[in-house]
A and B are shown apart, each in its own frame.
Chain A
Amino acid sequence: MKRNESRKFDPRSLLGILALVALMATALAFLVYEGRGSGVRIAGTAAVVLVIAYLASGGLGQLDFFRSRRFFRGSASTVYTITVIAILVVINALASQTNIRWDLTQEGMFTLSDQTVAILRELEEDVHITAFFPEGSAISEEVDTLLTEYQYYSPHIHVRFVDPEREPAVARQYEVTRIYTTIVESGGQKRAINAQNLYDLSGYTGNDPSEIHFRGEQTFTRTIMQLTQNIEANIYFITGHGEADLYGEYSSLRAYATGEGYTLRQWNPGRDGDIPDEADIVVLAGPTRDLHPREAENIRDFVDRGGRLLILAGAAPGDEGRFPNFDSLAEHLGVAMRSDAVADPARAYYMDAFSPVPRMDYHPVTSNLIDSELLVVLPLTRSMYALDDYSGEYEANRLLFSSPEAWSETNMASPSPSEAEASGVLPLGFAVSRPDGEADEEAAEGESGEPVAIILGSSAFLENDLFGFQGNSDLFMSSLQWLMDRPELIAIGPKRPVPRQVFLSPDQGRLVFYGGTLALPFVVLLVGGVVWFRRRNL
């Protein structure tokens, strides 16, 4: 009779079930809406009301089970279990914060350089790194692996990977238009790093992908350092005279140099006034009209005050006397520009005589290119020479020069050497420095005093279609680095893993396949058979 009574339907049970359902709905709504929204509030309120109603109705009291010995032992066991699991969670959380890592790879592929570790350990402000990479891409894995190491050394490094195809709104928010872009933010500043900033292609011949080396550590460390230590590297590109446009033919250069930590701006002296003091380097890239005398004087003063200048001249055949102010600026530095286009059929890019592939003198600007056997192509380049009767304070050292078969062409419509035109080995670039007390010692090592200017005959070699050619971008970047003369812009070499390949003849390949797939299991089965047979006959 009592059993039958206990099986009777009790409305309070329904109340209890509803309370339980409401609690579960609240938890689900919390997870789905991440703790926000009216769904969470409604479900939560309903759950609280139902639980209170259930308890008030004496719901718990009706269940004998809750008063049983089993219930108390079960409760104790549950509490014990939950406590142990909680302790394990805490141990894992602590282990995440205080972990130690050992890199067992022979080349130390996952070991950061001492410079990077020192910078990360000294970080005091948060650095947010947002990488816009398609999920599962190879570059994504490499960057993820690297930044995991960064996070190991500093709690201030925050990394987020965003697949721009799956989260286009986030990409728009960061103004990211190219995939494989990484945005590094700190202290209200941000920099964009592109994929080309993450790889060293200098040894790549176009055939073997193993010749491409990941240099993400160099790029990320330098960017973090520049953002957190406020190291400025401001490059001002002069405009207003038909120069190359950073948002047009120089857009690849802009993206690359920005990713390397430089801040590039365009500056029209006629509109924007004199060059500001914050400028570190001023670039004159292929002016097709002459500078105003005051502009030339302003640049000259800037250089004399310790500013740095990069002149990318561009061919000017037959323009003798059209650029007096521009020419006087170069002459102030001890270099005279010829109004020509250099033809060098003996060392030409794809047999275009007006695209010379110059030879290089050993200098800090060119040393990496020479060591790496990288070529530079200088289309439409002007020749120049060091002034013999120069009495200024600077010293010009030749950087690039043509082959002995070259000549200075003043009429590109009918290219042929003439007696009136200079010929033979023609200088195509100079590095200008200010000799000082230490100059003599440094000169012996290829150094030459305090950097002042670099004058190159071509501006077209940095345009988008040629920027990636072998050593073109390297010549530009090493020019900037030499001009900046900033030791804090560290250079961390890319990791160069030893190629690990197996070399198998067809017979050996078959041996590996059949041996690995059949022989090993066969031996195991044989042993099993013997054991089973012996056991059966015991």
Chain B
Amino acid sequence: MRKVWGITKRELMTYIYTPMAYALVAGFLMITGYFFSMSMLGSRAASVQSMLGNAGLIMVFVVPILTMRLMADEDKGGTSEILFTTPVSMGQVVLGKFLGALALVTGLLAIMLVFPLVVDQFGNPDWGIVASGYFGFWLMMTSFLAAGVFTSSLTDSQLVAGVAGVALLLLLWVIDWAAGSLGPPVGPILAELSITNHFVDFNRGVIDTKNMVFYLSLTFGFLFLATRVLESRRWR
């Protein structure tokens, strides 16, 4: 675990010392803040549900930029050989890097708590819905980050990793659009795979273990795939 923590700390420090991370976070907060204020001024609703829904879509584009360098950078910087020969398992490397990115996104989510606090100043938000929504958003982000780690493991090009990450997350975001038209048996499967469908309950104040298991499975699945891809380099 100490090895994982070491990698996590290194990744987090890399983010903290990189101007791009600040620019990315600032850009995200600007767009999210715009959606938040527009929703609040337009509907006068004392809630952050709309803001969280929009923020999820923005993260489809932000997360792959955050994660694209995680694995691809090791190849480009020539450090992958060192990494692969150290007494650290691939799983530990992947987990450490994932947790580093997750720590950054968790910090971002903490900053986003400003929005419900603003609502509380001028209205009476349902804090149960806020808590459930933020928890669901955090879980959704874990699966986003894992998907980003996976696409980053596929290539040594950061650009390709980023584009692939966006494509993958966007596909998971819209995959249920076709569910209604296709009908059974494919339609329900697509609806179940939708990353947004599982967030709906959270964002209206309902925590369902089924949705938690979905996000955790997705997270584990992508991290596992990333590990398999990296391990395959040893024998390919």
A106 contacts partner chain B, Cβ-Cβ < 8 Å: yes
> Is B88 in the interface zone, CB < 8 Å from A?
no
Which chain B residue has the least Cβ–Cβ distance from A527?
Answer: B22
Is B213's beta carbon under 8 Å from chain A? Answer: yes
| Majority DSSP secondary structure for residues of B touching A | helix
A110-B206, A498-B124, A532-B19 given; A74·B232 CB < 8 A: yes
Given known A-B contacts A104-B129, A532-B19, A516 and B118 have beta carbons under 8 A apart: yes
Taking the nearest CB of chain A, how far is it from the CB of B56, in angstroms? 18
The A-contacting residues of B in range 116-174, CB under 8 angstroms, are 118-119, 122-129, 131-132
Q: Please name 4 further chain A to chain B contacts, defined as beta carbons within 8 Å, in addition to the given A104-B131, A529-B19, sorted by A numbering.
A: A31-B186, A110-B205, A503-B44, A516-B118
A31 to chain B, nearest CB (A): 6
| Nearest CB of chain B from residue A507's CB, rounded to whole Å | 12
Chain B residues with Cβ below 8 Å from A529 are: 19, 22
Whether B221 lies near A95 (C-beta < 8 A) is no
Q: In residues 219-236 of chain B, which contact A (Cβ within 8 Å)?
A: 220-221, 224-225, 228, 231-232, 235-236
Quick one: CB contact mask for B1-32 with A, threshold 8 Å, 1 for yes? 00000000000000011010111011101100
Q: A99-B210, A100-B209 are in contact. Are A531 and B26 (CB under 8 A)?
A: no
Best-surrounded residue of B44, B125, B210, B228 (most CB of chain A within 10 A): B210
- A101 lies within 8 A of B207 (CB): yes
Q: Please tell me if B90 contacts chain A, counting CB pairs below 8 Å.
A: no
Is residue A10 contacting chain B, with contact meaning CB distance below 8 A?
no
A–B pairs, 24, beta carbons within 8 Å: A81-B224, A85-B221, A91-B213, A101-B201, A104-B132, A104-B205, A106-B126, A107-B126, A110-B204, A498-B124, A501-B123, A502-B46, A504-B44, A512-B40, A512-B122, A513-B37, A515-B33, A517-B37, A518-B30, A521-B29, A522-B26, A528-B19, A531-B22, A535-B17
Residues of A participating in the B interface, judged by any CB pair closer than 8 Å = 31, 34, 69-70, 73-74, 77, 80-81, 84-85, 88, 91-92, 95-96, 99-107, 109-110, 135, 145, 163, 498, 500-504, 508-509, 512-513, 515-518, 520-522, 524-525, 527-529, 531-532, 535
| In contact, A73 and B235 (Cβ under 8 angstroms) | yes
The answer on a CB contact under 8 Å between B33 and A95 is: no
Cβ B122 vs Cβ A502 within 8 A: yes
The answer to whether A104 touches B36, judged by C-beta atoms less than 8 angstroms apart, is no
**Closest CB of chain A to B26's CB: distance in Å?**
4
CB of A129, distance to nearest CB on chain B (Å): 16
Specify which chain A residues have a CB less than 8 angstroms from the CB of B81 in the assembled complex: none
Instruction: Please name all residues of chain B whose beta carbon is closer than 8 Å to the beta carbon of A110 when the two chains form the complex.
Output: 204-206
Does the CB pair A501–B46 fall under 8 Å? yes
- Binary CB contact string for chain B from 28 to 58 against chain A (1 if under 8 A, 0 otherwise): 0110011011001100111100000000000
Please, how many residues of chain B have a CB less than 8 angstroms from a CB on the other chain? 62
B19, B125, B192, B207: the one within 8 Å of A500 (CB): B125
Nearest residue in A to B123 (C-beta to C-beta)? A502
Give which listed residue, A503, A515, A528, contacts B123 with CB less than 8 A: A503
Question: Taking A500-B47, A521-B26 as contacts, is the C-beta distance between A512 and B41 under 8 angstroms?
Answer: yes
A145-B36 in contact (CB<8A)? no
Q: Which of A102, A135, A517, A532 has the most CB of B within 10 A?
A: A517
C-alpha gap A34/B183 in the complex (Å):
9
Output the nearest chain A residue to B205 by Cβ-Cβ distance: A105
A74-B232, A102-B206 are known contacts. Are A504 and B122 too (CB-CB below 8 A)?
Answer: yes
| Chain A residues in 8 Å Cβ range of B186 | 31
Query: Judging by beta carbons under 8 Å apart, are B17 and A80 in contact?
Result: no
Contact across chains for A92 and B213 when beta carbons are under 8 A apart: yes
Instruction: Evaluate whether A520 and B132 lie within 8 angstroms (CB atoms) in the complex, with A92-B213, A513-B41 already known.
Output: no
* Given known contacts A81-B228, A96-B210, A515 and B205 CB-to-CB distance under 8 angstroms: no
Judge whether B111 is part of the interface by a CB distance below 8 angstroms: yes
Whether A106 contacts B128 by the Cβ 8 Å rule is: yes
* Chain A minimum-CB-distance residue to B231: A77
Q: Is the CB of A524 within 8 A of B26?
A: yes
CB distance from B99 to the nearest CB of A (A): 20
B114 at the A/B interface (Cβ < 8 Å)?
yes
> Could you tell me if A92 and B30 are in contact, using CB atoms closer than 8 angstroms?
no
Q: A77-B228, A513-B41 are in contact. Are A105 and B119 (CB under 8 A)?
A: no
Check B236–A521 contact: CB distance below 8 A.
Answer: no
Does B16 lie within 8 Å of A109, measured CB to CB?
Answer: no
Residues of A within 8 A of B236 (CB): 70
Give Cα A377–Cα B163 distance, bound, in whole angstroms: 67
- Which residues of chain A come closer than 8 Å to B184, judged between CB atoms? 34
Which chain B residues lie closer than 8 Å to A518 at the CB level? 30, 33
In the A-B complex, the 8 residue pairs with the closest CB atoms? A528-B22, A104-B128, A502-B123, A516-B33, A95-B213, A99-B210, A521-B26, A105-B205
Distance of A511 from chain B, by nearest CB (Å)? 9
- Complex CA–CA separation, A81 to B16 (angstroms): 34
Q: Is the CB of B34 within 8 A of A500?
A: no
Tell which of A88, A104, A504, A525 has the most Cβ of chain B within 10 Å: A104
Q: How far is the CA of A444 from the CA of B163 in the complex (A)?
A: 77
Q: In the complex, A163 Cα to B183 Cα: how many Å?
A: 13
- Which of chain B's residues have a CB closer than 8 A to the CB of A91? 213, 217
CA gap between A96 and B210 in the complex, in Å = 5
Among A88, A102, A515, point to the contact of B217 (Cβ < 8 A).
A88
